Amino acid sequence: MSSEKVPSAFPELPENPDELPEIPGGWNQVEIPIGEQVLKMHRPTDPDLFLDDADVQRENARHDYMPYWAFLWPSATPMAAAVMKAPWPAGTKVLELGAGIGLVGLAAAFRGDQVTFSDYDRTALHVCRLNARLNDLPDPELWELDWRQFSPRRFPVLIGCEVTYDAALHEPLLDAIALLMEPEGVCWLGDPGRYQSQFFHAKALAKGFQVRCLDQMGKPIEASSAGTFQITELRFPAPDESFSRE
């Protein structure tokens, strides 16, 4: 039996912030066109190998953990393009929710925003920092954030991509947004038109958020059909309207 250590999906992060950790299947570097720009990314070569990892299987059995951070999801590219042309002023403080390997947050940073990358997986945050460096961007702020338990901070802009796929996470996510967004702030969540989108919209409305659907250009649309990219925009109601942030 070989004594060689097999890379884990829960790797020990290297002390050198410029080094990638050892993971199943290793890493590759890709270039992703976003509008007129090209962003460079470190990404796992084969994220599916994480699903066979013994540590992942154990954590999945314990609390339904899945290594979603390792995948570059379908909405990430159109969402990054939308963020590149977002209406808020360049230099705005932006929080990315569930950053994964950070493409959407990188697009915001590339346009000049002050981005905080958040994820509950420390490996993802390490890769976000490396991807910022790969694009000659300053080291970003990183936040190991669990939506179910954290000390609130306020940001004028929240962004996220493919974070509404699981109905069980809708309530914690909406509660977190209520605690993280400034009173006159905005939250953009990109989605490829998944089945759960309509239910997320309904829950957001029930909690008192103003909800709009936008296309990739940031233009208002009717709720999109399945399989069509959309942005769910959330805002707080006007000050004279009731809203519960509990």
- The string of pLDDT tens digits covering residues 206-234 is 999 999 999 998 899 987 667 889 999 99
Q: Classify strands 155-161 and 181-191 as parallel, antiparallel or unpaired.
A: parallel
Q: Which of 4, 16, 8, 204 is nearest to 121 (CA)?
A: 8
Q: Determine the Cα–Cα distance for residues 207 and 18; give it in Å rounded to an integer.
A: 42
Per-residue confidence (pLDDT) for residue 2, from 0 to 100: 41
Q: Provide the residue-wise pLDDT of the chain in tens; the chain has 246 residues.
A: 344 566 877 888 988 878 999 999 999 999 999 988 999 999 999 999 988 888 888 888 887 788 889 999 989 999 999 999 999 999 999 999 999 999 999 999 999 999 999 999 999 999 999 999 999 999 999 999 999 999 989 999 999 999 999 999 999 999 999 999 999 999 999 999 888 888 999 999 999 999 999 999 889 998 766 788 999 999 999 766 655 555
The neighbouring-strand residues paired with 43 are: 28
CATH for 67-235, options being 3.40.50.150, 3.90.1150.10, 1.10.357.10, 1.10.1270.20: 3.40.50.150
